[in-house]
Structure 1
Amino acid sequence: MTQVAPQLLVLALLAITFLQSGYDKIKDWKGNVEWLTGHFANTILAKQVPFALMTILILEIVAGVLCVSGIIQLIAEPAVTGGLGFYGAIVSCITLLMLLFGQRLAKDYDGARTIVIYFIPAVMAVFWLN
């Protein structure tokens, strides 16, 4: 079990991050759309906020579920490399890149920097689970 501890921990980080974020989007959809509409008002995403938010929501839920499934798979079969956790890490990276793109479009450089902080462990998970 100790040989997969780093993978389990980073998958837990990603699962918590994306499942909580997805839950927040579902719980306060209207508030998120309103805030993001203002945030992206001067970008090419200005009229696409609900669609973009739904896309991110779906990716976050898929990433979170795959990461949780990967945790279960690693606990059950520690010798397995790749597997569901790997795909969870890949979807996490794609989601974070989309979020980074949006923050850069909105010229929210502090927000973009925060996303990079999450991107580093996501890439580490891809590397460890490959």
Structure 2
Amino acid sequence: MNTILNHSAELLILIFLVITFLMSVIDKLSDWKGNILFLKSHFAHTFVPPLIPFTLIVILILEVLTTLFCSLGIFEIIEEKNSNFSLLGSVFSCVILLVFLLGQRIAKDFDGARNITVYFIVSVFAVFLFQ
């Protein structure tokens, strides 16, 4: 119990990242076609539409890895080992969010880009904690 209390900030951030990216994975897998259609309309006036299926697969893989690494990181911390998986999950999270930010900026969706910043701050703080 002391381990959980001593590392509560780290554990809460990892749980936050797991929930965020696990739900995103579930959404993509349960409504693949809907996501493709939404993204094609979102990026309709850019060069992006032909790249969407490939990009979505890459993002899905990164989100699965992020969820896996953050989940393993939770168990690493509880078992009082190290935080290698936590750091990997946090870095992957930052990479995904930077891709999302780039996409929002390309689409000129500045409100969407601003919303990603909140998640990015949490992810960067996690990288800081686990270094």
State the TM-score, normalizing by the size of structure 2.
0.94
**Paired residues for 1:10-49 under 5 Å:** 10-49=13-52
The counterpart of 2:67, out of the listed 49, 64, 67, is 64
User: Residue deviations 1:2-31, cap 9 Å, x none?
Assistant: 221111000110011001101100000000
User: Residue deviations 1:73-125, cap 9 Å, x none?
Assistant: 10011x62x31011000000000000000011001111111111100010000
For structure 2, the 5+ residue unaligned runs are none
User: For 2:50, what is the secondary structure of its paired residue?
Assistant: coil
State the TM-score, normalizing by the size of structure 1.
0.95
Identical counterparts, % of pairs: 45
For structure 1, the 5+ residue unaligned runs are none
Q: Distance in 2 between matches of 1:105 and 1:42?
A: 10
Amino acid at match of 2:7: V
CA RMSD of aligned residues (A): 1.0
Amino acid at match of 1:4: H
**Paired residues for 1:106-125 under 5 Å:** 106-125=107-126
1:89 matches 2:90: yes
Count of residues in Structure 1 that have an aligned counterpart in Structure 2: 128
Report the alpha carbon displacement of residue 127 of structure 1 after superposing the two structures with TM.
0.4
